[in-house]
Structure formats: structure tokens, C-alpha cells
Amino acid sequence: MKKLLLFTLLAILAVLASATDLKLFFGNPHSHTAYSDGTGTPEEAFAYASRVPDLDFLAVTDHGYYFVQELPDGRDKFTATIEAARKATKEDFLAFAGFEWTATGTGHMNVYGTEDWTDRVRSDLWHLYDWIIERGALAQFNHPITMFGDNFKEFYYVPEADLYVNLIEVGNGNWWQNETISAEMFEAFRLALLKGWHIGTTVGQDNHKPNWGGANDSRTAVYATGLSEEEILEAFMRRRTYGTEDKSIILYFATDEGFMGDILYDLDTVTLKIRVEDDPNDPFERVEVYSKNGVIASFDTTGPVFETELTLSIESGYEYFFVYVTGRDGEEAVSSPIWIQRSHPVHLYNPSVFPSNVKPGEEVTLSFQISNVSSAVAASTLKLGNSSGVIHSELLSLERYESKIINMKYVVGEDDSEISMLLDDTPYASVLLNIRKATSLNVLLDKSHVNFAMDRRNALSSLLQDSGHKFLTAERVFKAGDLDTVDILLLPLPGAGGTFERLKMLMAIQKNIIIDFVLSGGTLIITGTGEEAGTDIINSYNSLLEELGVPLSYAGVKSDEVTAIDGIVYDGISEMTGKSGEYAAGDGLVIILPGDPFTDRVIEFNIDLLNRLF
């Protein structure tokens, strides 16, 4: 055996009944041949990989949609790959077959442990999940980056599929450098965990060249009882894996109750036991421990061995921990998690709130996913609470393996800076709100009409937020309801640039929305421009003023220079007929300025104006 490590002396594993049987193997679960878009035959791939140092196994996982074409001898390509794998397997090397399901816009997934295959023509993502469930197969999310799609509908959680989709690549690549673990894949792994998936980490070389398993030192490490296909796939199914860019890193991660990949239940505290080893000439630099909230412990290390224990309180019905390691040479390793959750089958995942910066009386949307992970109907009492107590309670009943996203509208009060979410009085999560003073303002800057200096407002944003206000930008044209919570709308006249001049015009529907906003009590501030805009464009704004009863209009640019008028410094001035100033309209106010005093170029001179208007 190239690497056969029996951990009888490790206290980390001594608590496990089967721990003394675990051996550590290193391999590559993701590669291709000319049966799809790679090179060579499966026989050549397995023969090559069997000679690669420190490589115990190779999976050939060609793309399923190539299998519709049979081999010249009439054999099915996938069946032929399985036959080649069985012939290539030896006592010290495992060859096995899988296939890669790929769908543009969704993502790629490896499937193992089946005698048949499917592809993107026969199965979309939801059908693929059903196909995997029917066969009790094992599956892996491959290279989860957005260039391949939306990452499986943003890892929408499917509880029954979660029993079988048990792996995810945190690294992928067959270049000679070991830089295969990427920040994007790592963050996708974390997102999938937050959504509820129970997945172990892998690194696949994804070989398309004749360098199967030998392209670099990146490996998937797996703890198994032996090197048979049954034992390796069983270890994959139990998530006893870690992904590493260094084939020498040995990572142990356990608790008194379980080992990496395990799901533990109803614990109030847990002691994490971590040990990492590497070659004496290749020291570590840092070891970090992650929970669902991010890094909870970080250790700077200097030697080739690191060992620690962490005792933690479990304060959520769904929690997990995993270990992230970096060496001094930059090479990384990521363990599979250990989950601690309540034994009741109903769980709450991925909470969020929008908007999170509000004042009392404004409405927010609380979002979260509720899932039943059992094969029977289950119910749970959902409670939402704030600093004053329970603010919402309801009984939720879910069908077998049902999962649904809940969006709840809620009007916030002064006590809602933190809203907690509980199931049957077990805390699951909380969301934080920035509750501003009731007298603070929501200020919206229009950027949807190629407005003058629309990207030169950093100082304005900072000053308003420092004063306790909320500063937003409108990137698209207004629609009904967009101004419902806005106090002040800042509307600079259009500037130069843009592809379509018509986009700069205020259309009738937008004018009506603005008029309703002002008449209902909103404040509209229109500023002049230092750049030329067409007559039809300017007149669309003048039409708004006319309908609001404001007796003035804008014309062309008077100056593109910094100009001071009556103590206000403007970045450009427009020609005007009529007198600028404040005009009442219905219950609201229209403020007309000849130029723009709010750009980064001049705002420092206009603090008194800001204090007066905002």
C-alpha cells in the first residue's frame, strides 16, 4: 500500500468503535479520457495512475452526454469503463468508474456507484436528484464556480438528495502547480453548508490530458477500512474525506463522539480534537477552525505538527465545524465538517433579512428555509423573538423530505435590532438589523438615467451615513412602490455618455411615480448639470416641474466649471428660466438647484447646505 496509516495510537480516534480499522488513502476522484473530451482510454488512464507515487485510487468520470455514442465494438462507454476499472484494480491500487453530469447554467456533478448513467438531455437538476435517490448512488458537486452555472440553483436544499450528494470539490485542476483550492470554491462550499447540505470536501485533478492523478500533488484524502471500491465509496458516503494540495498532509479531526463527516445529535457542548502533520521540511503556517458563523479559532504554527483541543458550547439546532490549514508554501487543506444538530427532523437554514438598515415603522422581509429531513410528516413550532420577547409563533407541518423557503413581512420597532429564530424553543439563528432613529432619512440617488456625476458621490454617501441616514442608489428606472420608504429623492439632470439617449429621458410612468411621491409628502431635489444633454431630454424634466406646478425650467449648460453662487459651490451650472429655491407641492417639497453641489469635487464646501437639507 502506498500510504497505509493505522491510527491505533491516536487519542482522537480511540473513542470510536471502528477507529482502529481506519486507514488513510490518497487519490483522484475526477478524471477524463477520450470516451468524452479527454485523452486516451480508461485502460491507459488506470495504468498510468497506478504508477503515480502516493496515489491509491483513480476514478474515471467521463461526461455522460458522450455516452450516447457507442464504441466501435458496440459496447456502451460507461459499461466499458467499469470493466476496465475492475481489470485494473490491484491490491495496492483501486480503479473505479463514475460519470459527470453537466448542464450549462446549472453546474457539473460526478455520480458514483451505478451501473447505468444519465445526462443533461435526459435529466435536469431536479430529475438528476430523483435519479440518484432511486439508485442510492453517491454524488459530488464539481468545481462549484459561477463560470459553470448558478451552482445548482444556488445550492437550493433538497433533503432527500442530501442523503446521497455527500461530496463537494473545494479544489480542481490538472496544472502542474498545486494551486487548485480556490477562494470561490471554498466560499461555495461554505454557502452549501449554510443551505443545509451535508457534504465532505474533495480535490479533483479533472484530468483532460494523459496525466491522470500525476498532474500535481493535489489529492482527495479518505479514511476507509480498506481499498476496495465498496469501502472507498462507503467512506465517501460517510464524508470521511479532506481535500488537500499537499499529498503529505495528514489531517485528523474528531470529537469524543465522532469523526470528520459525522452528524452528531443533541449535544450541549463538544470538544474538537485536531491534529495536522506534514513533512518536517514543510511546516504549517496557520490552522483555522470554522463554524457556520465563520472563523472561530485561528492558530499560527511554525512546525510540521500541530495539535489542539477546543471545547465549545452548542447554541444552535444546526451547527457544524471544519478545519482549514495553510502551509508556509501556500498549500491548503480543508477537512470535511462535523455537524451537531438536534434530533428532531425539522430544521431552519440560511436566514436573512432585507433591508437590514431601517427605522421603526418600516417593513422588512425575513427569509429562511425550513426543511423536514425525515421520511415521515413532521411538525415544529416556529418562534421569532426580539429583546422584548416572542413576536411571532406558528405551527409548521412539512411533508416527508419537504423543504420550502419562507418569506415573512415584518414591520420593525425599536426592539428589533436582533431577531432570533427558534424551532420548538431551540435557537437556530438570528438576524441583525441596524435600527436608526425615527427622525433619520432614507435618501435615494437616481442613477438610472445616466445622471450627471452619478459615480462621483462617495463623499455624499459617507457624510449621510455618518449622520445616521440611509443612502441608496437607483440603478434601474423607478417602478411602483420603489419610493414608498424614500424621504428624499435626489435627481441630478442627465450628463454626457451612455449608449442610448432615450434612456436619459423621464418617461411618463416615471414622472407619475415621482409626482405621487412628492404630493404624498416626499422631498425632491433636482440639481443642474455640467454636461450637455439633448433638448428633448431636458424638456422631459421640465415637464415634471410643470406638472408639479413649479414655475421654472432648465435649458442647456451655462458652465462646466466650479462656480460659487450665494455661498453654495456648484460642479457645473445649467441655464434656467425662473428662480431656483424651494417650492411646496401637495404635502411635499421640490428643491431646485441651478448646479450640482453634491459631487466629490465640491461637496466639502457645502457642509452647511447638507446640514440644512438632510
Based on the domain organization, do 389 and 479 belong to the same domain? Answer: no
Q: What's the CA gap between 199 and 193, in Å, rounded?
A: 7
* Alpha helices, DSSP H, located in 183-302: 183-195, 229-237
Please check whether residue 123 lies inside any domain of the structure. Answer: yes
Please check whether residue 259 lies inside any domain of the structure. Answer: no
Based on the domain organization, do 60 and 185 belong to the same domain? Answer: yes
Banded pLDDT at 405 (limits 50, 70, 90) = very high
Q: What's the CA gap between 197 and 349, in Å, rounded?
A: 10
% of the chain at pLDDT higher than 70: 96
**Cβ atoms of residues 80 and 34 within 8 Å:** no
Domain boundary among 248, 280, 307: 248
Domain boundary among 420, 435, 450: 435
Please check whether residue 279 lies inside any domain of the structure. Answer: no
Please check whether residue 301 lies inside any domain of the structure. Answer: no
pLDDT at 599: 96
Please check whether residue 22 lies inside any domain of the structure. Answer: yes
CATH of the domain at 396: 2.60.40.10
Q: What's the CA gap between 201 and 170, in Å, rounded?
A: 6
User: Is the per-residue pLDDT at 7 higher than 80?
Assistant: no
Based on the domain organization, do 233 and 84 belong to the same domain? Answer: yes
Domain that holds residue 151: 11-248
Banded pLDDT at 16 (limits 50, 70, 90) = very low
Mean pLDDT of the chain: 94
Reduced to 3 DSSP states, what percent helix, strand and coil does the chain have, rounded to the nearest 5?
A: 20, 40, 40
Q: pLDDT tens digit string along 135-159?
A: 999 999 999 999 999 999 999 999 9
Q: pLDDT tens digit string along 203-227?
A: 999 999 999 999 999 999 999 999 9
Mean local confidence (pLDDT), 258-283: 95
**Cβ atoms of residues 347 and 373 within 8 Å:** yes
Based on the domain organization, do 69 and 86 belong to the same domain? Answer: yes
Based on the domain organization, do 359 and 395 belong to the same domain? Answer: yes
Based on the domain organization, do 158 and 43 belong to the same domain? Answer: yes
Measured between alpha carbons, how far is residue 584 from residues 371, 439, 485, 524 in Å?
A: 53, 21, 20, 10
Q: What's the CA gap between 179 and 186, in Å, rounded?
A: 13
Q: What's the CA gap between 230 and 570, in Å, rounded?
A: 75
Please check whether residue 549 lies inside any domain of the structure. Answer: yes
- For the sheet with 523-527, list strands across it: 470-474, 442-446, 488-492, 523-527, 588-593, 581-585
pLDDT at 496: 87
Please check whether residue 362 lies inside any domain of the structure. Answer: yes
Q: Specify the 3-state DSSP secondary structure of 80.
A: helix
User: Is the per-residue pLDDT at 344 higher than 50?
Assistant: yes
Least confident of 17-31, 354-368, 504-518, 557-571: 17-31
Domain count for the chain, please give it.
3
Based on the domain organization, do 66 and 157 belong to the same domain? Answer: yes
Q: How many CB atoms lie within 10 A of CB 492?
A: 28
Q: What's the CA gap between 518 and 483, in Å, rounded?
A: 10
Based on the domain organization, do 55 and 165 belong to the same domain? Answer: yes
CATH of the domain at 87: 3.20.20.140
Q: What's the CA gap between 54 and 68, in Å, rounded?
A: 35
pLDDT at 11: 39
Based on the domain organization, do 426 and 458 belong to the same domain? Answer: no
Q: pLDDT tens digit string along 32-59?
A: 999 999 999 999 999 999 999 999 999 9
Mean local confidence (pLDDT), 479-498: 92
Q: Specify the 3-state DSSP secondary structure of 196.
A: coil
Please check whether residue 292 lies inside any domain of the structure. Answer: no
pLDDT at 20: 55
Q: pLDDT tens digit string along 63-117?
A: 999 999 999 999 999 999 999 999 999 999 999 999 999 998 999 999 999 999 9
User: Is the per-residue pLDDT at 6 higher than 50?
Assistant: no
Banded pLDDT at 178 (limits 50, 70, 90) = confident
**Cβ atoms of residues 523 and 488 within 8 Å:** yes
Based on the domain organization, do 519 and 426 belong to the same domain? Answer: no
**Cβ atoms of residues 84 and 33 within 8 Å:** no
pLDDT at 59: 98
Based on the domain organization, do 428 and 487 belong to the same domain? Answer: no
Based on the domain organization, do 454 and 429 belong to the same domain? Answer: no
**Cβ atoms of residues 97 and 80 within 8 Å:** no
User: Is the per-residue pLDDT at 3 higher than 60?
Assistant: no
Domain boundary among 388, 405, 435: 435
CATH of the domain at 564: 3.40.50.880
**Cβ atoms of residues 547 and 577 within 8 Å:** no
